[in-house]
Structure 1
């Protein structure tokens, strides 16, 4: 097959982090691609240089692209094809004003993140890390009728904060475990979706929080969700309640959560994301009733490969002069 545009240059694509090997290899076949040698995070200066010298930038959640960086990007950059679904690290509005399109990879992480949400709910309520620590330290003295007592998941009320794709996938899993599903969302789901999920809608987040046994945060980080679970709202929770977050750390006031967990005002927490990236409150790390994971929610071999495929399709569609299928528009944010 001969190309219809034999003279057309391949797009110059800059990738900011190491991606799975099959994804990098396919990108090399299709584009004039600059890959990373090591998996270190690009500095601000390196990101600006990459934007200035490329038609397409492929960043990840660790690359913060703000208005002043976009102002220095020059005229060559036309597409930011994000490797990941969340785009809260990119100033999408400014990018669009400067004629730069932004695409993401929605839907790919849904099932994997929902699996991890259930894993955290089980880990906290059944005290798995405490048991693990005891075994690893060689402290186990044998079975006893009263030791390691956790709580039964079935019959508990789960309050899902954010009922998008991932929230709904969590609801499906939770129902199978016998949990009662409740949710708060910007918009109420259609009646038939609500029926299918057997989910109860709460217009008032405060009212929902005060009645739940488990809270799962599945909302994106936007200006309106920053510290949505602030100190006042966390105080509404029952002292037996558990909080799980697999979305974005900024949705919870981490210091307030830490204080309440230390004081025994909340029974436990399972966190895969943190308010200040990988800088975690050291007092949070010491608590036995808290499960901390290093942002692993979407970390499956299959998920990362699918993410890469979506990025490639977005770039290829753009290269062919069409609208990328996963275009992010400011009204979606």
Structure 2
């Protein structure tokens, strides 16, 4: 049995814990590509609302604009592009008075074979309501969620291309779960794909989002990672960190990142105005062995875990 507390950010956990419990129920989706978009209106409950997202999305009323099939894959090979069975989904709710439709938060992608030699994998989709994938919280194949720490709004469709770890993918069916980091954030995704590239330029596999003193860093790395002198856990080949920068950090304009490829001085991107930044709190996984013939009791992050013996 594998128990973990990947995110204890209270706002996010309320949403994500429920959706993960519902995953088995909604893992198979309708083959219909028609998605009925509900009407959106402002709720009387103003708590945790994002005026920027709400006003802009209500103004556009989530328009059904169809983006052109933009070609951006470096060396396009249709055999390396795998589209989801689902067409689009609307994620999140503006207030507790609304209910997020769990079933359209999942996207299923079937990959016949995964070649890991000299290959990079990308999660590609069209995004409306948020500025970039850094503000999107998503989970692949029931792994912990990445992203959504810094919420930056955007009222236009944009094409997202996020590098993901090959280790997070599986041969056959893969499920992508999009969630909302907190109440008051609502966005739309469509045209979700997994893209493999085997003829690419070498890069540091790092991306980031800066808002004020908060720097969010995400990367792909199978080995150990150290950012600004602190160890960062890598899960299934991916890692992330939310740093609170000091005045000294900002004067330098970079942080030091150490990986198996060496030491890099990572320069800060341009700062963007955000609606909210979630607090950073992470815990290490705990693996326990359970037997029907024995009781088990242990403490984990201030919580007692007890397993009774089966008679």
Query: Hey, which of these two has a bigger chunk of helix by percent?
Result: 1
Name the TM-score class by shorter chain: under 0.3
Give the TM-score taking structure 1 as reference length: 0.23
Give the TM-score taking structure 2 as reference length: 0.24
- Structure number, greater radius of gyration: 1
